[in-house]
């Protein structure tokens, strides 16, 4: 066991999988000077939908200092005029259960939920199912979409209409210990000195897609572009087999990640206690966790660096959509615009650890030129000090951990912006869950060294994109 802070208390399952450790219906995460207490999840939907209150439904608030909940409380206590108050209802912390529970409520026709927090890949399915209101169908004007990163805005679009606004984004980043080898080309990672998320969950889907894109399958299984059987057979499967070859050395971090089924928390722990030549693929939130680990700090210097991967990475994040059955659609849209506004997005980044959906948080235009550097980023303490509504916020008594200086927040922002240039969406399909389950099941067989028939692989993945369950 490594010395210093126990990372099992500081790490969290990421929003992409939204899996957080749950104990007796509540989660307590300790991050140096900040203590985060999560409210019990899966609060029952309200019985009376005509009550003057907006309900925001999503997974457990895993942001540092519960910033999502804090922002909704600010809405309740702020200058919202005659608009109703809002509350955050947390369903399951597990991604697949979140999807099932939110979908079940919408399929029932219930008006219990007004605003839905959706993982980016789910938006198409919920829109296709008739569960969401197009945003331009509410009120007298469409929402202002200027200032968002275009790729984030695209997550909320389906069939040429905007059904949601991006709440936060995500991109894969590479982390390196002091003596780790940096990949010079897209196909140079991961090598066997990487630790990654290779457990049987959405993290494996993400890592497998990145492997495909960077090992000969660029442009396949992404967005709305179709991928036929020939491409699946001749480019996708060989890309996965190429990565599988790097999992053959007994005891290598990459093989261990697969054999032990690492998710986000286990990946961070392995990186923190591993050797100085170790590398890691993970989301941006890990930077803050690692910066607060004493074993990874040498005085004022961090014993690791972060950078955008060469080549392509998965675009992640969550969107805010309005339920088709909401009786408060106009007020729900106003709440979404508040939660995606500049000030709220600044707090989600500096205080909550989320990648903002707005480029302005980094002092940049929506489509930053290559090599653009972030500017003007303030720490959580600075933001809270300047805001009279949160100056004495009991949920944030110490501000952000002292390791997150303006310089480190800027370093992380620069890596994020660079990675966004190569970020690709997962397949946009109303059957995404079926695809993800099938694709990662096939990837698991390939990574385990099993012989997988190329024709059967291609047929299974093609069928899953059309909503038909299949196996390799």
Interval 332-372: pLDDT, tens:
999 999 999 999 999 999 988 899 999 999 999 999 998 89
CB 319 within 8 A of CB 325: no
According to the model, what pLDDT value does residue 310 have? 97
Do 160 and 29 sit in the same domain of this protein? Answer: yes
According to the model, what pLDDT value does residue 66 have? 85
Residue 435: closest CA among 199, 121, 36, 183:
121
Rounded mean pLDDT of 404-432?
95
Q: What percent of the chain has pLDDT over 70?
A: 86
Does the residue 15 lie in any domain?
A: yes
pLDDT at 34 over 50: no
Do 161 and 79 sit in the same domain of this protein? Answer: yes
pLDDT at 467 over 60: yes
CB 432 within 8 A of CB 121: yes
CB 307 within 8 A of CB 110: no
According to the model, what pLDDT value does residue 48 have? 60
Mean pLDDT, the chain, rounded, equals 87
According to the model, what pLDDT value does residue 402 have? 59
Do 335 and 261 sit in the same domain of this protein? Answer: no
According to the model, what pLDDT value does residue 26 have? 30
According to the model, what pLDDT value does residue 46 have? 53
Position with higher pLDDT, 34 vs 196: 196
| Alpha-carbon distances of 228 from 235, 241, 290, 390, 430, rounded to whole Å | 11, 19, 41, 53, 18
CA distance 163 to 408: 35
Do 19 and 164 sit in the same domain of this protein? Answer: yes
CB 323 within 8 A of CB 114: yes
Does the residue 312 lie in any domain?
A: no
Label residue 385 by pLDDT band (50, 70, 90). Answer: confident
Does the residue 139 lie in any domain?
A: yes
pLDDT at 14 over 80: no
pLDDT at 422 over 70: yes
Do 378 and 352 sit in the same domain of this protein? Answer: yes
pTM over cut 0.85 = yes
Q: Counting Cβ atoms within 10 Å, is residue 36 exposed (0-12), middle (13-18) or buried (19+)?
A: buried
pLDDT at 329 over 90: yes
Does the residue 17 lie in any domain?
A: yes
Give the best-scoring range by mean pLDDT among 84-93, 294-303, 398-407, 409-418: 409-418
CATH number of residue 66's parent domain: 3.40.190.10
Rounded mean pLDDT of 208-221?
97
């Amino acid at each position: 066991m490594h010395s210093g802070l126990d990372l099992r208390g500081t790490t969290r399952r990421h929003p992409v999988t939204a899996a957080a450790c749950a104990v007796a219906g509540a989660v307590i995460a300790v991050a140096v000077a900040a203590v985060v207490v999560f409210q019990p999840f899966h609060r029952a939907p309200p019985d009376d939908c005509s009550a003057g209150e907006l309900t925001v439904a999503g997974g457990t608030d895993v942001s540092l200092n519960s910033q999502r909940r804090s922002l909704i409380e600010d809405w309740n206590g702020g200058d919202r005029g005659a608009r109703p108050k809002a509350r955050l209802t947390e369903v399951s912390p597990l991604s697949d259960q979140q999807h099932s529970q939110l979908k079940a409520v919408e399929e029932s026709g219930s008006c219990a939920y007004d605003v839905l927090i959706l993982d980016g890949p789910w938006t198409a399915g919920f829109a296709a199912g008739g569960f969401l209101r197009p945003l331009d169908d509410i009120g007298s004007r469409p929402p202002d979409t200027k200032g968002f990163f275009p790729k984030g805005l695209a997550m909320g679009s389906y069939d040429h209409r905007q059904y949601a606004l991006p709440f936060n984004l995500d991109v894969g980043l590479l982390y390196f210990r002091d003596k780790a080898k940096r990949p010079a080309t897209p196909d140079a990672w991961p090598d066997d000195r990487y630790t990654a998320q290779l457990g049987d969950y959405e993290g494996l889907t993400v890592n497998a897609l990145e492997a495909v894109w960077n090992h000969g399958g660029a442009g396949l299984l992404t967005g709305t572009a179709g991928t036929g059987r020939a491409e699946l057979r001749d480019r996708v499967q060989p890309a996965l087999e190429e990565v599988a070859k790097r999992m053959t050395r007994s005891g290598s971090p990459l093989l261990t990640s697969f054999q032990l089924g690492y998710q986000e928390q286990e990946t961070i722990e392995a990186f923190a206690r591993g050797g100085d030549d170790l590398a890691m693929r993970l989301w941006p939130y890990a930077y803050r966790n690692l910066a607060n680990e004493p074993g990874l700090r040498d005085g004022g210097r961090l014993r690791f660096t972060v950078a955008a991967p060469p080549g392509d990475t998965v675009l992640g994040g969550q969107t805010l959509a309005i339920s088709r059955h909401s009786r408060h659609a106009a007020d729900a849209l106003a709440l979404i615009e508040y939660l995606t506004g500049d000030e709220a997005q600044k707090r989600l980044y500096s205080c909550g650890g989320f990648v903002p959906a707005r480029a302005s948080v980094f002092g940049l235009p929506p489509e930053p030129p290559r090599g653009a550097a972030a500017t003007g980023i303030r720490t959580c303490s600075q933001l809270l000090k300047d805001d009279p509504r949160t100056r004495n916020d009991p949920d944030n008594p110490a501000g952000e951990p002292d390791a997150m200086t303006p310089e480190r927040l800027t370093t992380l922002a620069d890596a994020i912006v660079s990675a966004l240039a190569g970020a690709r969406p997962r397949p946009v399909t109303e059957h995404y869950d079926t695809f993800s389950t099938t694709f990662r099941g096939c990837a698991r067989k390939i990574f385990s060294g099993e012989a997988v028939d190329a024709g059967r692989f291609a047929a299974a993945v093609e069928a899953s994109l059309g909503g038909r369950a299949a196996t390799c």
